[in-house]
Structure 1
Amino acid sequence: MPRPFSHFIAIDWSGAQGERHKAIAMAIAHADGGPPVLVERRNGWNRSEVLEILRNDLPPDTLVGLDLGIALPFADHGAYFPGWDASPPDAPALWALIDNICEGDDHYAASAFVDHHQLSRYFRRHGGREGERFGGGRGRFRVTETLQAAQGCKPYSNFNLVGAAQVGKSSLTGMRLLNRLRGHLPVWPIDPLPQTGSVLVEIYTSLAAIAAGRSASRSKIRSHEELDAALIALGSEAVGGSGAIDDHSSDALITAAWLRASHSRSNLWAPSALTPHIAQTEGWTFGVS
């Protein structure tokens, strides 16, 4: 039986430029029940504030879900950047590489990484700039992303930086934060699940919406009425209210409730396709089994 947690935090992340982001949303749910609650900042979150909470201000024994890819594809070619002799061997080394190259980028942006003279060859960027090592089509996928699709989701390659639904930018900025969290907060499955204390996992908010009875094409919730129906479907109390709500807030609220409802499922901590090598290089999305 997986270990218990006292709190469940879901963070809807953003890779947008700038200091503060209305697209970053954080919600917390208590293990004892009640509706999930938004943790708000008047002018939006900046990434440094999120990092400070994750490093120094989490409630004890918190399960944190961060909505981004915690690594790049590796298993398909045996490397993140095949053909480049400086390609890092595992996820923590990848995080350090991104953070080091982007040291001059403010607000944990990752522009210097995707514009790097060697690394840009692997990304699809704006303006029709597709590197010769991107791979064509939809791009490269991690093992967990292939299985996300089998569960009804519509994943995008982290090497794709183009389009409204792309997650590459948010993943790269998030990896800079993960590098700063080394030694402060374990990241499962790259780090083993600790017997006590807090831990961070990768989440995909569409999985929470699907668990609440919605389809991937209807995963975005923009009204309090739809939000409360989804929360009740997950066994949570409703937040109440009426009218519009932004989908970043609803994603965080639903996913915090879903983490609370699903964290005790043993199969979610031991997916059959998750090998030790994949755990160290690609990581995994919690909820993909």
Structure 2
Amino acid sequence: MRAFTRFACIDWSGQAVERPKGIAVAVAEGRNAPVLLDHAWSRQDVADWLIEQSAAKADLLVGFDFSMALPFLDMGAYLPGWPDGPVDARALWALIDHLSADDRHLAATGFVDHPEVSRHFRRHGGREGDLFGGGMGRMRLTEQACRAGGHGNAISCFNLVGAAQVGKSSLTGMRMLHQLTGRIPVWPFDPVPEKGPMIVELYTSIAARAAGLGKGRSKMRDAGALAAALLGWGLETPMLARYDDHATDAIVGAAWLARAADDAALWHPPALTPEVAAIEGWTFGVP
């Protein structure tokens, strides 16, 4: 198992604007307190920063808080009923990027608005596709395991409504991953490289719980809450210009990743078969 020396957590956003307020990037040198990179990030800025890390062969493990694929295994397709639908995650990323080519700022509106694709999503204005399926919506195997194991309330990417929805950020993230193909490997779709950066999917609620924050207390919006999360790891609380839950999620996520990356079991969860890895991926930290 490779030992990384630097760790980043990126709190992501699917907001269809150039510089979403929800993007935050924190980097930890080893197990030291993470530093928040003070920048008004765009999604393209993040992609460019990652490309720079790749060019420098940085020894960096990067965690993103978005889902890196849609559910497939439950119904044998990402988009059941569409004969031309993608059959693995990389083909899904390519399709999202292709259908969203006219969307600025790496947004993914074109994908969601496609007449076949939209049938599977719950959207604003009471628009629920006839193939959404009702309830909470379809979930990947890792999301089911996350909920069943009490690791957090994972939410379906097919739901684009509500403050807790993750669909928009996940779709924009998948579009970015397609554009990074061949530059930075992504676990578990790619093997861990001997050197250079690697990307993983993480769930910041898992990091918050590992920090000792109880259920329902995972959102930290002031210095005191952040201090409570970092205290158990013996880390000082950094001084921030803002203590919103995006900045604090990124900081706690980076601190957790620096510790979780040494756990060999998290790299090899029992349910993560080669088929699951190629089609649905996995959330790092879900056993």
TM-score tier after normalising by the smaller chain length: over 0.9
Q: In the alignment, which residue of structure 1 is the partner of 2:49?
A: 53
Question: Which deviations, in whole Å up to 9, do the C-alpha atoms of 1:269-289 show, x marking residues without a partner?
Answer: 000011111100000000000
Of 256, 264, 267 in structure 1, the residue corresponding to residue 265 of structure 2 is 267
**Residues 65-144 of structure 1 correspond to what in structure 2 (within 5 A)?**
65-144=63-142
- C-alpha distance in structure 2 between counterparts of 1:90 and 1:151, whole Å: 28
User: Unpaired runs of 5+ in structure 1?
Assistant: none
Amino acid at match of 2:51: R
Q: In the alignment, which residue of structure 1 is the partner of 2:20?
A: 21
- C-alpha distance in structure 2 between counterparts of 1:241 and 1:173, whole Å: 30
Amino acid at match of 2:266: L
Amino acid at match of 1:51: A
Count matched residues: 284
- C-alpha distance in structure 1 between counterparts of 2:27 and 2:234, whole Å: 12
- C-alpha distance in structure 2 between counterparts of 1:158 and 1:12, whole Å: 16
Q: What is the Cα-based RMSD across aligned positions, in Å? A: 1.4
Q: In the alignment, which residue of structure 2 is the partner of 1:276?
A: 274
- C-alpha distance in structure 2 between counterparts of 1:94 and 1:79, whole Å: 11
Q: Cα gap change, 1:282/1:30 in structure 2, threshold over 3 Å: closer, same or farther?
A: same
Amino acid at match of 1:188: W
Q: In the alignment, which residue of structure 1 is the partner of 2:208?
A: 209
TM-score, normalising length: structure 1: 0.95
What is the identity percentage for the equivalent residue pairs of Structure 1 and Structure 2? 52
Q: Cα gap change, 1:242/1:52 in structure 2, threshold over 3 Å: closer, same or farther?
A: closer
Asked whether the equivalents of residues 151 and 286 of structure 2 are also in contact (C-alpha less than 8 Å), the reply is no
Amino acid at match of 2:106: Y
- C-alpha distance in structure 2 between counterparts of 1:151 and 1:68, whole Å: 19
Asked whether the equivalents of residues 43 and 106 of structure 2 are also in contact (C-alpha less than 8 Å), the reply is yes
Amino acid at match of 1:123: F
TM-superposed CA distance for 1:6, in Å, is 1.6
TM-superposed CA distance for 1:148, in Å, is 1.1
Q: In the alignment, which residue of structure 1 is the partner of 2:192?
A: 193
**SS of equivalent residue, structure 2 residue 25:** strand
- C-alpha distance in structure 1 between counterparts of 2:6 and 2:23, whole Å: 19
Could you list the structure 1 runs, at least 4 aligned residues long, displaced by more than 3 angstroms after superposition.
240-244
User: Unpaired runs of 5+ in structure 2?
Assistant: none
TM-superposed CA distance for 1:103, in Å, is 0.3
TM-score, normalising length: structure 2: 0.96
Asked whether the equivalents of residues 65 and 204 of structure 2 are also in contact (C-alpha less than 8 Å), the reply is yes
TM-superposed CA distance for 1:213, in Å, is 1.1
TM-superposed CA distance for 1:104, in Å, is 0.2
Asked whether the equivalents of residues 36 and 239 of structure 1 are also in contact (C-alpha less than 8 Å), the reply is no
Q: In the alignment, which residue of structure 2 is the partner of 1:6?
A: 5
Q: In the alignment, which residue of structure 2 is the partner of 1:247?
A: 245
Q: In the alignment, which residue of structure 1 is the partner of 2:164?
A: 165
